[in-house]
Amino acid sequence: MSIVITGAGIVSAIGIGKAETLQSLLEEHTGIAPLQYLRADNRQFLAGEVKLSDEEMKQRLGISNEPTTRTSLMGMMALEEALSEAGLWPNNCQQSVAFVSGTTVGGMDKSEQYYLDYLGNDSHNDYILTHDCGSTTELMARRFGIFNMITTPSTACSSAANAIVMGANLLRSRMVDVAVVGGAECISRFHLNGFNSLMIIDPHQCRPFDADRAGLNLGEGAAYLVMENDEHARRRGAQPLAFLAGFGNACDAFHQTASSDDGEGAFLAMQKALRMAALQPSDINYVNAHGTGTPNNDVSESRALRRLFADTLPPVSSTKGMTGHTTSASGSVEAVICLLALQHAFLPANYGFTTPIPDGIIPVAHVETGRQLKHVMCNSFGFGGNDTSLIFEKNK
């Protein structure tokens, strides 16, 4: 059974929707800028914020007074694009559809905003129920009303990638006809300060895989894929955008927040994905790396890539220099970027790169167009060593 992708939607710092995102990628436009929308004391930080306020997103979605969170608002916009392209919305959907959405922050932004009100008065108590990760998924699901199954994986920065894996397994076991998969994550003060306490936030524009890298810039966003088996897609006349050819997950459990020195978990995840796809390393035409810009990750991932690909290392880039690190949403944000690269024949730039790491990989410094791609790999690595790799194949 082949798993096809019949719809995709994305919201991030470089665009609302696939068209804006594609334009930003081709023009090497970064969305990283001083904080504008997050109410934080540390406003000196740069971040990849979605360039809309909560109120502006509500207006776009036609939402008035019901309690919502920034994570769910971004998710609703990305979902609407994905479901519309797949022909599942606003038409009546007669299929069995699962919604698997990864997040870690969930509705924490509103908990931070209204916490003192929860303690002192009853003016915003409705938002208490929007705090947890699962309620964020339910807020999104209720808007569309087509889902028969809803679940929320939370594995830190590999959450959205693992949502894609879980959706694929639901399809392979024929538990559902369609799986809508991905993730959503807003920036909160809690995780901004948390990453800062780890001393891995760069106060300037981040530079993944650069010898002078000094950390990451946080980002936010949402992205979703509509997946189904190829027979089901043909029966309903849906046009595939690409195939999910393989995936792999591994956990090296090396450290709570650091990657292992030799990249063992990353290596095993990529190896498993290749094995499932029945591909050789030389068959991969591009790798969208996890590439956070931290001293630890970029060396660890470089070693894993060199270990796996050896003399056949394909072009590699991290797009987090443009979107920021969208944490739990990064796996699906970058999956959609991979789909755009497959469809439009280009290699995304590794924004900010100038100087190679000694013995590290040398990424694609600037966008390269006219590059026909057949197989691309998308890496997403989480805290605790929960590492996931996805392989997408161009529609035949």
- Give catalytic residues, as residue numbers: 157, 290, 325
CA dihedral (192, 198, 203, 206) in degrees, to 10, reads -90
Residue 167 has φ and ψ, to the nearest 5°, of: -60, -40
The CA angle 283-284-288, to the nearest 5 degrees, is 175
Task: Fill in the DSSP letter of residue 310.
Answer: G
Tell me the C-alpha to C-alpha distance, in Å, between residue 276 and each of 242, 249, 289: 16, 11, 19
What sections of the chain are H helices per DSSP?
18-27, 54-61, 70-86, 108-120, 133-144, 159-172, 189-197, 230-235, 264-277, 295-309, 320-323, 330-344
Contact, 151 vs 138, CB < 8 A? no
β-strands 286-288, 242-251: how paired? unpaired
Contact, 246 vs 238, CB < 8 A? no
Question: Which uninterrupted H or E stretch holds 315?
Answer: none
